[in-house]
């Protein structure tokens, strides 16, 4: 019976978390619509600061991991294609894999680890210090003041980080293939031929969706922080785990849709 009890409690906790995320999403959409009607209500300063922390401060690690990802993919794929004397086609594989799938996916996981946990910790600390209650008492909606700027920053940061990760990944692949006697001009020629506008657009759209999920889940975890000693730590952990799970699930769904729509 204890096993069933634990499963039930975990299921209730997951359902409660999903419901809370949907509630924050609905309130965020309402605030976004209000911002379109009254743009001056949007806190551009807070959004710019959150964007700087999420995008520019995250460029070194995103570029470094993108470079290493390109190096690893080039080495592994070249080892298989070398038997057929087709190492040059590693460039096509890298371009398609990075632009359509791996670039947005790896960058979103990095964003969830860096910014998603930071959003949860910042808002969670405010809740523990009863600052959210103070905002509500003064008639200031916390979603508009705290969630909206961070969600917008996460959405806008993803394309920037994704593009840098993809470019550095291609540079890493070019460095590996240059050691295998593939000239850089041939490499970049194959990359330009394989990089269609559709592939690049799919990657950017995925990045925007991943950024929205990371921002919403991170802020939701912060809003649901418990006023306990480990409340902020639990919220940061929930933001990272929930963000990665949501990224994986949404990426799988988009892969199925791309297959159905023949994209």
Look at residue 159 and tell me whether its pLDDT is greater than 80.
yes
**pLDDT digits 0-9 by tens, 18-42:** 777 677 777 777 877 877 777 777 7
Q: Do 244 and 214 touch, CB atoms closer than 8 A?
A: no
HSE-up (13 A, CA, CB side) for residue 6: 3
In the predicted model, what is the mean pLDDT of residues 46-67?
90
pLDDT reported for residue 82: 78
Binned at pLDDT 50, 70 and 90, residue 181 comes out as: confident
**Count of positions (residues) in the chain:** 263
In the predicted model, what is the mean pLDDT of residues 129-156?
85
Binned at pLDDT 50, 70 and 90, residue 104 comes out as: very high
Alpha carbons 250 and 216: distance in angstroms, whole number: 14
A 10 A CB-CB count for 171 gives 15
In the predicted model, what is the mean pLDDT of residues 97-110?
92
Binned at pLDDT 50, 70 and 90, residue 1 comes out as: low
In the predicted model, what is the mean pLDDT of residues 221-225?
85
- Which candidate, 108, 110, 113, places its Cα nearest to that of 204? 108
- Which candidate, 70, 249, 222, 238, places its Cα nearest to that of 143? 222
Alpha carbons 258 and 100: distance in angstroms, whole number: 10
- Which candidate, 204, 193, 102, 194, places its Cα nearest to that of 158? 204
**pLDDT digits 0-9 by tens, 91-100:** 888 999 999 8
Describe the crossing of helices 148-178 and 197-223 by its angle, rounded to 10 degrees.
140
pLDDT reported for residue 84: 77
Look at residue 247 and tell me whether its pLDDT is greater than 80.
yes
Binned at pLDDT 50, 70 and 90, residue 167 comes out as: very high
- CB neighbours of 169 closer than 8 A, spacing ≥ 6? 66, 67, 69, 70, 73, 94, 98, 102, 103
Q: Which residue has the higher pLDDT, 80 or 241?
A: 241
Look at residue 171 and tell me whether its pLDDT is greater than 70.
yes
């Amino acid at each position: 019976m204890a096993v069933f009890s634990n499963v039930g409690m975990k299921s209730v906790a997951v359902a409660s978390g999903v419901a809370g995320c949907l509630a924050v999403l609905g309130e965020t959409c309402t605030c976004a619509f209000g911002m379109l009607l009254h743009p001056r209500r949007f806190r551009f300063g807070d959004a710019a600061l959150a964007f700087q922390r999420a995008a520019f401060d995250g460029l070194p690690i995103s570029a470094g991991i993108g470079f290493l990802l390109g190096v690893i993919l080039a080495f592994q794929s070249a080892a298989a294609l070398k038997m057929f004397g087709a190492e040059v086609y590693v460039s096509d594989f890298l371009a398609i894999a990075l632009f359509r799938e791996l670039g947005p996916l790896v960058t979103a996981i990095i964003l969830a680890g860096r910014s998603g946990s930071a959003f949860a910790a910042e808002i969670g600390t405010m809740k523990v210090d009863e600052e959210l209650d103070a905002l509500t008492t003064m008639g200031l909606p916390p979603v508009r003041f705290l969630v909206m700027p961070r969600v917008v920053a996460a959405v806008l940061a993803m394309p920037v980080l994704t593009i840098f990760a993809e470019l550095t990944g291609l540079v890493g692949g070019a460095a590996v293939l240059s050691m295998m006697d593939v000239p850089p001009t041939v490499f970049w020629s194959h990359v330009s031929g394989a990089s269609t506008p559709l592939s690049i657009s799919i990657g950017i759209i995925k990045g925007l969706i991943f950024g929205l999920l990371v921002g919403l889940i991170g802020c939701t975890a912060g809003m649901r922080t418990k006023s306990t000693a480990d409340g902020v730590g639990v919220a940061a952990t929930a933001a990272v785990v929930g963000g990665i799970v949501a990224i994986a699930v949404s990426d799988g769904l988009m892969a199925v849709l791309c297959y159905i729509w023949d994209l």
